[in-house]
Amino acid sequence: MSSRVSSFLMFIAIICGILVPNSAFISTSRPTAASWRSLPLMQIFHKPIPPAPPQTGDGGGGGGGDGLILRTISADVRRAALTLWQWQLQQQPVQVAGSMVDPLVEAKFLSEWRGDESRAGCCSLIKGRALGAYIGERLEGLVGIHYEIDSSDWMNALRGKHMMVVDVIVIGPAMPARMRALFHACLVRTLLQLGQVHTMNVVMKTTIGT
């Protein structure tokens, strides 16, 4: 009798080994970024959203912690800062180069923007975010970004890979006119680095509201 039981248990063990050999569906370990390509389609579409962007964006060079820093900010902080900036820009307009958009127009657009409160369309799985651009502890700029399925390559779209779309960059009125273009360029470079961190393509919108 005991030999029959032993044989039966051995048979069950063999069957289990055939049916579930190292199955990814029963693994409790989290896949690494390099393994996403080999995962089943449904697991790819449930991958986590990118974490908050790295704190330090562009070093100040002086070693005193005065470099450019990007931080995710709430919708309330975004709207409060833009309300103040719009009032300041109305009282004292900022002169910008011919190729740059009026800061007041950009500030008004970002104050009405809702990209950090919902996802961009039914296919996007990641909610947008507003980023504050700080030099030291001073808020000098704001960025509105949202995420879309990356349709630049059909394999990217099939895997549910997202791209980062920069809707607008607003530079605060306290930034001197002679420094605004340079600060804008530093922000663009930092956003491109952020895309590299998350292995995402980055699209910069050139027209407000498109």
* pLDDT value of residue 43: 37
Cα distance between residue 120 and residue 128, in whole Å: 7
Q: Which residues of the chain are modeled with pLDDT < 70?
A: 1-66, 97-99, 120-124, 208-210
CA–CA separation, 90 and 105 (whole Å): 11
Confidence (pTM)? 0.66
pLDDT of residue 24: 32
